[in-house]
Amino acid sequence: MRDTAPPDLGPQDLFALPGVTALLAALRAAVGGAQPERELVTLLARVTGGRAEIRASWGDVVASAGEAAGPPVTRRLSYGDASGERQVGRLTLAAAEAWAPLLPLAAEYALLARLQAAAAGAARRRVGERTLDALLSGGRAEGGAAETEAVALGVAAFARPPAPGTAARSAHAHALDVLAAAGEGYFLERGLASYSTVRGGRAVWLWQTGDLAREAAGLHAALTASTAQDVRLGVSGVHPGPQHAPAAEREARHALAATRQERSLTTYHTMDPLYALLAGGGLETLRDQVRARLGALDDGGRTEATLRAYLGFSGPLPELAARLNIHVNTLRYRLRRAEGALEGSLRDPSLLARLYLAFEAEPGTGEPPRGEKTQRKAGTPAPPRSRAGDPGRGQPQRTS
């Protein structure tokens, strides 16, 4: 680090002119350096005689210096942009109490240091984008990237699409770029070579993997910590080199589509094995037949919605009726109407299986399937079960 620290003065002298002038000059020089975060904490530790630390938004220590000389005090580093408030990290200063007035000023310069480092990372990321785009198109990595390193690919999306309008779409695009940068920062801090890009309304990363489950969980935590929005993440399996990026991307997109909860992740090797059948379009005929029969009831979709809720619920009928805010007799009536339209009994396991597949099957859009929200683990649909003989459920009988 350059010797830019002000003279060795106590806080009572440093916070008064001309000491404050020297302090501001030293802070400005630190954040303008080649390693702004490291230079800033070194300066703060030297000036206060305590310890200074900057962490990334997901918790990694980015830079630290000195020894604690007082209780640690932390300030959140955030700013507002087109996508809302963005947290970029935290500054902690453990110095004598007399230095407390320095913390707000130091936090502003720590924020500048984080943004300065992010700007340098953005330039580096643009090069990585070209490489990753080439790999995803079936090309080869620039610079002769190793073709025998195990790699994985992640695809992330915000849980909710952008609102209508040019400004909202622009803010959404900016937020995706921020997401890509946060993921790349996560891998950089762990010494994992990676590329990132934004592609088809998704943030995408390809990285050299060593412990896929831990890296996937850490990546998702980093992404959710860096934005105020809910993020869904799909992660591929392990592949033997970056030349397999297209196959890895297909796996990651399938895993993303199988991620049901708004803030969750799914890895391809833990994905529900029925998902490819449900989302691949192979069950369209069954889906259309079931919906056509229920639609013939012409009740505004109430019977279908009730049937969906029934299939995803394992408690007694009165409890389900209360949850749906209808009388239990109304619930039984709708279920009997469904049986009549479907020409089958809800005691029949084969009918329950067909209904489950029909309701879960959706066109392969890369988005989570529609349906009633139920208490299920992310990415794991509840299997259909025969409800015959369930005590206390008061199962509906087929009407003739």
* pLDDT beyond 70 at 289: yes
Q: What is the pLDDT of residue 159?
A: 86
- Taking Cα atoms as reference points, which of 254, 280, 281 lies closest to residue 269? 254
Angle at 78 between CA 223 and CA 19, to 5 degrees: 140
pLDDT-derived band at 383, boundaries 50, 70, 90: very low
Which strands make up the sheet holding 151-158, listed edge to edge?
194-199, 202-208, 151-158, 231-235, 264-267
- Taking Cα atoms as reference points, which of 117, 144, 5 lies closest to residue 54? 117
* Neighbouring-strand partners of residue 204: 155, 197
Between residues 287 and 47, the one the model is more confident about: 47
Q: Packing angle between helix 317-324 and helix 328-342, nearest 10 degrees?
A: 100
pLDDT tens figures, 317-337: 999 999 999 999 999 999 999
- Single-letter code of the amino acid located at 94: A
Residue 276 and residue 254 in contact, taking contact as beta carbons nearer than 8 Å: yes
Q: What is the pLDDT of residue 185?
A: 86
Q: What is the pLDDT of residue 122?
A: 66
pLDDT over 70 percentage in the chain: 78
- Residue 223, number of CB atoms within 10 A of its CB: 28
Q: Which residues contact 167 (CB under 8 A, 6 or more apart)?
A: none
Q: What is the pLDDT of residue 398?
A: 38
- Residue 61, number of CB atoms within 10 A of its CB: 13
pLDDT-derived band at 1, boundaries 50, 70, 90: very low
* Neighbouring-strand partners of residue 61: 55
Which of 1.10.287, 1.20.81, 3.40.50, 1.10.10 is the CATH number of 272-400?
Answer: 1.10.10
Q: Maximum Cα–Cα distance for the chain, whole Å?
A: 95
Q: What is the pLDDT of residue 370?
A: 39
pTM over 0.85: no
Which of 3.40.640.10, 3.30.43.10, 3.40.50.300, 3.30.70.270 is the CATH number of 148-271?
Answer: 3.30.70.270
Q: Mean pLDDT across the stretch 157-172?
A: 84
Omega prior to 18 cis, within 30 of 0:
yes
Q: What is the pLDDT of residue 58?
A: 76
Q: What is the mean pLDDT of the chain?
A: 81
- The length of the chain is 400
Residues of CATH 1.10.10 domain(s) within the chain?
272-400
Q: What is the DSSP letter of 240?
A: S
Q: What is the pLDDT of residue 146?
A: 57
pLDDT tens figures, 144-159: 455 678 999 999 999 8
Q: What is the DSSP letter of 6?
A: P
Tokens 């998902």: give the residue.
Answer: 275
Q: What is the pLDDT of residue 337?
A: 94
Q: Mean pLDDT across the stretch 125-131?
A: 78
* pLDDT beyond 90 at 367: no
Q: What is the pLDDT of residue 281?
A: 62
Residues of CATH 3.30.70.270 domain(s) within the chain?
148-271
Token pair for 19: 């000491």
* Neighbouring-strand partners of residue 206: 153, 195
